[in-house]
Amino acid sequence: MMCWPVLISILTPVIAWVILRIIIVFSSPLRAIPNAHFTTPVSRIWILWTRFTGKEFSKCLELHNRLGPVIRIGPREISVNCIEGGVRTVYGGNWEKSSMYDNFTQFGFSPLFAMRDTHEHLERKRLFTSVYSKSTISRSSEISKAVSSICHQRLVRRLQKQVDEGKSVDVYSLTKQCSMDIITAYIYGEKNGTNWVVNPNQAAPHLSAFQRAADPWSFSVSTEVPKLVAILSWFGIQLIPPTVDTAFAHIQSFVLGITTGAIESCCSSVTKGNDTDEVTKQVWQKLEDIPEAERLKMIASDMVDQLHAGHLATGVVLTYLMLKLSRNLDIQERLRIDLTTSADPQASELLDAVIMETIRMYPAGFGPFPRVAPANATVAGFAIPKNTIVTASPYILGRNSEIFPQPDKWYPERWLQAGPDQTRIMRQWTWMFMSGQRICIGQHLALLGK
Ligand code: HEM
């Protein structure tokens, strides 16, 4: 029989934990917020389970529809689904990113995406602001040359060849190859970029590494329970498959290689007075006080993120766009006529409607995009204690039936029929690139200056 001292030493911490949890539940201002699940005031199990099983966004959408714009998804974690007082307060107010982002260092450097300190981030962002601005992208000769040769020549030739040979097309791979060719042409210059539309076999190992590295299970466990991952690995239990580490090593080596090649080539061009405006060249010059070896890895750390997120997200959106156009032949035909007869195809209202409707429904990155509440914060009328984690999701915002009636229907007409005020509101709720200081820097490149 177990003796009393042993029993007491086991029960004491358990009872203390229960009492502490009860105190937290009854004293936290978050108790005023509807719970996503009855366990959420005391435990993160529910949110971890929905994240690990890939059901977070569908589940939270259903809960927001039922319980309102703010729900409690953990003892110190809430999800918001409104613009005024919600997204605008948190993301527009530049609340700091959570520690989840500490997982995204590359080559020992923190890329822009992972920087948490607001001032450090702002300083670093200055490197990229002008090269990715809408006016730079829409005026860039580099980008118009790249689009012309990649889309109008290489892509059309490749598709024609597939048709002639009676072969089917893997659209998702093709859109990723095309996106990577355009992004690298802009970042490194066309001669230093990839040529994957023409050489899909060359692309295959890299695309596979990028896809494996984005494995949702590994992403969730490494960001949500990093300590558990580390402890279990001491005992030989690997929660993250070794293929994920291999994939990250592959990506780093690929990006370092392409960045080194571009910098060697652009630096020799600089001395020869070449006036091309690739991103790497400009950033390299702006950081001239930093020793070259360190500077190279610093830039490559940013490029890992920009190439990874850029080509995957753009590939996802373009694939859905193709899917929807292939199933809505009337819209496809109208769009074709619009683009081939217009003097300014970029200004096509139908094109805009088709893009907006696609990114509303399929925003590529669903989230979560966790932010940390400062002192004395209020979200949608609720007082939020300091350090509460707040998240919002473009997927959930884009499916709000009050803003978008029949939200599950792909219906570009809604954008053509809306008046100016309604369009402005619909654009705010179509939050694919997010907002505030941490808005996606690549948004104008992804939309090619549109
Ligand atoms: C359809 C395509 C794209 C989508 C949907 C997208 C979406 C996003 C989102 C939601 C964020 C915020 C993430 C967060 O705070 O956790 C973000 C940030 C970022 N994106 Fe994109 N992105 C796209 C394309 C690109 C491209 C083409 C590039 C670069 C070439 C890029 C570079 C970045 C960078 C560097 C950040 C971090 C910005 C910062 O923290 O200041 N993205 N993107």
pLDDT beyond 60 at 269: no
Q: How confident is the model at residue 140 (pLDDT cuts 50, 70, 90)?
A: confident
Structure tokens at 418: 């809306």
Confidence of residue 268 (pLDDT cuts 50, 70, 90): low
Q: Counting beta carbons within 10 angstroms of the beta carbon of residue 188, is it exposed (0 to 12), middle (13 to 18) or buried (19 or more)?
A: buried
Q: What per-residue confidence (pLDDT) applies to 1?
A: 57
Percent of the chain whose predicted confidence (pLDDT) is above 90: 74
Under 8 Å between Cβ of 277 and 140? yes
Q: How far is the CA of 232 from the centre of ligand 1 (A)?
A: 32
From the CA of 128, give the closest atom in ligand 1.
35
3-state secondary structure of 37: coil
Buried b (16+ CB within 10 A) or exposed e, 310-322: bbbbbbbbbbbbb
Comparing CA positions, the residue from 380, 391, 382, 388 lying closest to residue 431 is 391
**36 SS3 class:** coil
pLDDT tens digits, 338-366: 999 988 888 899 999 999 999 999 999 87
Q: How far, in Å, is the centroid of ligand 1 from the Cα of 7?
A: 53
Check if 442 has its Cβ closer than 6 Å to any atom of ligand 1: yes
Which amino acid type is present at position 50? T
Distance between CA atoms of 84 and 90, rounded to whole angstroms?
A: 10
Residue nearest to atom 12 of ligand 1 (CA): 440
Task: Compute, in angstroms, the gap from residue 20 CA to the centroid of ligand 1.
Answer: 40
Question: Please, are residues 188 and 218 in contact by the beta-carbon 8 Å criterion?
Answer: no
Query: Parallel, antiparallel, or unpaired for β 77-80 and 70-74?
Result: antiparallel
Distance 366 CA to ligand 1 centre (A): 12
410 lies in a domain? yes
Domain count, the chain: 1
The CB of 445 under 6 Å from ligand 1? The reply is yes
Asked if the structure places residue 367 within a domain, the reply is yes
User: Do the domain assignments include residue 405?
Assistant: yes
Q: Please tell me what DSSP assigns to residue 433.
A: T
Atom index in ligand 1 nearest the CA of residue 311 equals 27
Q: Ligand 1, atom 10: nearest CA belongs to which residue?
A: 433
Does 369 reside within a domain? yes
Q: Evaluate: CB of 180 within 6 angstroms of ligand 1.
A: no
Chain segment 277-298, per-residue pLDDT in tens: 678 888 888 888 999 999 999 9
pLDDT score of 5: 83
Decide if pLDDT at 275 tops 60: no
Closest Cα to atom 23, ligand 1: which residue? 310
> CA 115 to CA 295: how far, in whole Å?
17
Longest dimension (CA), the chain: 89
Mean pLDDT to the nearest integer, 395-414: 97
Q: Regarding beta strands 371-372 and 70-74, do their DSSP bridges make them parallel or antiparallel, or are they unpaired?
A: unpaired
pLDDT(153) > 70? yes
Confidence of residue 271 (pLDDT cuts 50, 70, 90): very low
The rounded mean pLDDT for the chain is 92
What average pLDDT does this structure show over 370-381? 95
- Indicate if the pLDDT at residue 255 is higher than 60: yes
pLDDT at 273 over 50: no
Sign of CA dihedral 247, 253, 256, 260: negative
User: Over pLDDT 70: what percentage of the chain?
Assistant: 97
Residue 417, domain extent:
29-98+362-450
* pLDDT digits 0-9 by tens, 301-326: 999 999 999 999 999 999 999 999 99
Nearest CA to ligand 1 atom 4: 313
CA distances from 35 to 80, 81, 265, 289 (A): 12, 14, 56, 52
Query: Does 197 reside within a domain?
Result: no
| 314 within a domain of the structure (yes/no) | no
Residue 324: Cβ within 10 Å count: 18
Q: Pick from 283, 245, 279: which is nearest to 146 by CA? A: 279
Atom of ligand 1 nearest to the CA of 187: 30
Substitution site in 440, 443, 450 for ligand 1 pocket (most atoms within 8 Å of beta carbon)? 440
Q: Is 42 contained in some domain?
A: yes
Q: Whose CA is nearest to atom 6 of ligand 1?
A: 433
In which band, very low, low, confident or very high, does the pLDDT at 172 lie, cut at 50, 70 and 90?
very high
Residue 397 falls inside a structural domain: yes
Nearest 5°: the CA angle 311, 313, 314 is 65
pLDDT digits (tens, 9 = 90+) for 40-64: 998 999 999 999 999 999 999 999 9
Question: For residue 24, what pLDDT is reported?
Answer: 74
For the record, the structure tokens of 50 come out as 């929905």
